[in-house]
């Protein structure tokens, strides 16, 4: 597992397929701020809540200069089903080999009900216009997280 990112670090570059199989890169968003959030699995309750919260606040976030990208280890086909079922407007990217999750330290050891296992660490990294990490939030909760981001960013 990679070191956790810190404010001021250069955000690791990535190019991943979206729900339609089109490649999307962090570099495509240069000049805009980007909220990159990592979630364990599409079509699960917590991840659905989080994705819907981002979608519900997308206009506010984009109006304040932020693009939103959600990344999970799901396949593009599953992301397409997730997007259609929940009417999501955020960009969803597939990281099946978990290289981007690892580069952002969003994949690692987790504990649940006394068991330790490897999995996606729900995380949000806010990248500034020049590609540097502005905020790095790890082990975030699915519920209420978007409202906290909006409050912390002063939007």
Pick from 3, 14, 82, 9: nearest CA to 44: 82
Taking the CB of residue 85, how many other CB atoms lie within 10 A of it? 11
- State the first-to-last Cα distance of the chain, in angstroms, to the nearest integer: 33
User: What are the distances in angstroms from CA 86 to CA 43, 112, 114?
Assistant: 9, 27, 32
Point out the catalytic residue in the list 16, 47, 90, 133. 47
Instruction: Report, in angstroms and rounded to the nearest whole number, the Rg of the chain calculated over CA atoms.
Output: 14
Q: Which two three-digit tokens encode residue 137?
A: 């939030």
Annotation says 52 is catalytic: no
Residue of 70, 55, 57, 62 whose CA lies nearest to 24: 70
Catalytic positions = 47
């Amino acid at each position: 597992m990679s070191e956790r990112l810190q404010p001021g670090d250069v955000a690791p570059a990535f190019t991943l397929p979206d729900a339609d199989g089109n490649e999307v890169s962090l570099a495509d968003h240069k000049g805009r701020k980007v909220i990159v959030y990592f979630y364990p699995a599409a079509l699960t309750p917590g991840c659905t809540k989080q994705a819907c919260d981002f979608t519900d606040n997308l206009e506010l976030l984009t109006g304040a200069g932020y693009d939103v990208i959600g990344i999970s280890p799901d396949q593009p086909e599953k992301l397409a089903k997730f997007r259609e079922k929940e009417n999501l407007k955020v960009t969803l990217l597939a990281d099946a080999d978990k290289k981007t999750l690892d580069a952002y330290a969003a994949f690692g050891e987790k504990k649940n009900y006394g068991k330790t296992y490897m999995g996606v660490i729900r995380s949000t990294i806010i990248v500034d216009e020049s590609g540097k990490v502005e905020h790095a939030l790890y082990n975030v909760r699915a519920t209420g997280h978007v409202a906290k981001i909006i409050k912390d960013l002063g939007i």
